[in-house]
Amino acid sequence: MTSSTRKALIAAYKERPTIAGVFAVICNATGQAWVGQSRHIDTHQNGMWFALRQGSSPHRTLQTAWTTHGPDAFRFEILDRLPEDYSDLRRKDELTKRAALWRARLEAEGV
């Protein structure tokens, strides 16, 4: 890969729109759910799954369930997406509110 190609790819990556939203990790075996929020929801699952596979997730109950039931028992669902035109402050506030609503609705723990 040439230097100019690499620079173009990096620039394109940095300019892509970010998708903020609320997500759930659901254990199909137990029905237990964990709800979280992310400013980069489209890439958040990869980081979570990596930590869970390594046994290093900071979310103990989620890690325990993952270890007990295995990765095939889990699914990642995007519950809510925010419009791209929200300011950073509004996005943060809206993510917090929506995550709390989804946690209550699903009787889920936060992640």
Domain assignment of residue 8, yes or no: no
Give residue for tokens 């075996």.
29
CATH number reported for the structural domain that contains residue 52 in this entry: 3.40.1440.10
Q: What does the pLDDT profile of the chain (111 residues) look like in tens digits? A: 888 888 887 777 777 777 899 999 999 999 999 999 999 998 999 999 999 999 999 999 999 999 999 999 999 999 999 998 999 899 999 999 999 999 999 999 999
Domain assignment of residue 41, yes or no: yes
Dist CA 78 CA 69 (whole Å): 22
Domain assignment of residue 26, yes or no: yes
User: pTM of the full predicted structure?
Assistant: 0.85
Domain assignment of residue 14, yes or no: no
Looking at the structure of the chain, the number of domains it has is: 1
Domain assignment of residue 50, yes or no: yes
Dist CA 92 CA 3 (whole Å): 36
Domain that includes residue 88, residue range: 19-110
Give residue for tokens 């199909």.
28
